[in-house]
Amino acid sequence: MKTEKTMAVLASSRRRTGLARRFLPLARSVFIRVHPWLALLLALTACQPEPPQALGTLEYDRITLPAPASERIVAIHVREGERVRAGQPLLQLEPDRAQAAVEAAQAEAERQRQALAELEAGPRREAIAQARAQLAAAQAQARDAQAYYARVRPLGERRLVASAEVDRARAAAEGAQAQVQAAQQALLELERGTRAERLAQGRAAVAAAQAQARAQRTTRGKLDVLAPRAGVVDSLPYEPGDQPPAGAPLAVLLVGEAPYARVYVPEPIRVQVRAGQAVRVFVHGREDTFAGRVRMIRSEPVFTPYYALIGKDAARLSWLAEIALTDPAARGLPAGLPVRVEFRR
């Protein structure tokens, strides 16, 4: 029994040895043909340099909405992180003081309009008649003063009255004549109507008052803070009841369909980066890559931030660049994620 098993093992071993002897030359031939190409491929892979790269973060374009006036916040209609549409109400500021300013400006504009209408209408008939009556009274007084002077002058020549009396009579006559001339000019001014220059001044005053009213209405309208563009509410620094100063940021919006990568280009590869260049963007936490293009690169260098230090580049300057993510899959990525950008040669 043992002899039969031993013979079976020996026969199997001889068959395997025969197969090996038959296929060994074929294997040697295939290896000799493939080996040079495999070695060349490995050599090219080992010698290929890494593409230039830069580090940064994902960002969105930000819109800051300042306070148009120092008014108390009476309502906040949205929350941080909420997506809003263009024109959607965000906050409401107290409108009482602004509304009073609007009404005052409108009243001033109306007063200036009525003043211009009065100038365009010219003087009233009653004012002209009054000026004519005053001219007639001045002429009568002038005739009386001239007659008195005519009576006193001969007496003064004959030394029958004092010289001072003659002088007073002459002065009264001349003053009365001046009053006549003044009344004549006043009547002429009324009859000729309003000067063109005063009409122009009136029109300018109306325009200024109307512009001030529009400005007050605009300020009043801005107390209802609306979203200028569709986006996401990033920050609401104040709470209802707060009274921020004029110009303080009431809300910050992140706008745009997709984020962009803000990266710092090291000095050794600056000459290889240009606007419009195609890149690959690697986002931390995502296995896939995103296509993009360089949309901007600053002309002046800055010091490299700590998170963008790569080896020897830590002691070098870098240039701020913005990479637009053109891949539709990049829409909705959150801001602030670390990214690595590879620039295609």
pLDDT tens per residue, range 291-324:
999 999 998 888 766 555 555 655 567 889 999 9
pLDDT higher than threshold 60 for residue 84:
yes
Lowest mean pLDDT among 11-25, 91-105, 115-129, 204-218: 11-25
Residue 311: what pLDDT?
A: 58
Task: For residue 266, give the CATH number of its domain.
Answer: 2.40.30.170
Q: How confident is the model at residue 27 (pLDDT cuts 50, 70, 90)?
A: very low
DSSP string, 216-264: HHHHHHHTEEE-SSSEEEEE----TT--PPTT-EEEEEEEEEEEEEEEE
Same domain for 270 and 211: no
Same domain for 187 and 272: no
Same domain for 183 and 122: yes
Domain boundary among 217, 241, 266: 217
Higher-confidence residue of 27 and 139: namely 139
Please give the tally of structural domains in the chain: 2
Domain boundary among 217, 236, 268: 217
Q: What is the mean pLDDT of residues 336-340?
A: 92
What would you measure as the largest C-alpha separation in the chain, in angstroms?
A: 194
pLDDT higher than threshold 70 for residue 177:
yes
Lowest mean pLDDT among 28-32, 45-49, 55-59: 28-32
Q: What is the mean pLDDT of residues 13-39?
A: 45
Would 73 be classed as within a structural domain? no
Would 30 be classed as within a structural domain? no
Residue 238: what pLDDT?
A: 95
Domain boundary among 217, 239, 273: 217
Same domain for 264 and 188: no
Same domain for 279 and 330: yes
Same domain for 268 and 193: no
Same domain for 109 and 208: yes
% of the chain beyond a pLDDT of 70: 81
Instruction: Kindly state the helix (H) or strand (E) to which residue 140 belongs, with its residue range.
Output: helix 125-157
Q: What is the mean pLDDT of residues 237-242?
A: 94
Would 31 be classed as within a structural domain? no
**Sheet strands (E) in the chain:** 53-66, 73-76, 83-84, 89-93, 224-226, 231-235, 249-266, 278-283, 289-297, 302-303, 317-325, 338-343
Same domain for 209 and 267: no
Q: Is the pTM of this model over 0.75?
A: no
Would 106 be classed as within a structural domain? yes
Same domain for 282 and 204: no
The tokens for 126 are 């009653």
Same domain for 212 and 154: yes
Q: How confident is the model at residue 31 (pLDDT cuts 50, 70, 90)?
A: very low
Instruction: Give the range of the structural domain holding residue 305, as residue numbers without chain letter.
Output: 53-60+256-343
**How far is 249 from 238, CA to CA, in rounded Å?**
9
Same domain for 262 and 198: no
Would 271 be classed as within a structural domain? yes
**How far is 46 from 266, CA to CA, in rounded Å?**
24
Lowest mean pLDDT among 9-13, 63-67, 92-96: 9-13
**Sheet strands (E) in 25-149:** 53-66, 73-76, 83-84, 89-93
Would 296 be classed as within a structural domain? yes
Q: How confident is the model at residue 124 (pLDDT cuts 50, 70, 90)?
A: confident
DSSP 266: E
Residue 78: what pLDDT?
A: 95
% of the chain beyond a pLDDT of 90: 47
Would 111 be classed as within a structural domain? yes
Angle at 273 between CA 272 and CA 279, to 5 degrees: 110
Mean pLDDT of the chain: 83
Q: What is the mean pLDDT of residues 25-42?
A: 45
Nearest CA-CA partner of 293 in 340, 329, 254, 327: 327
Would 231 be classed as within a structural domain? no
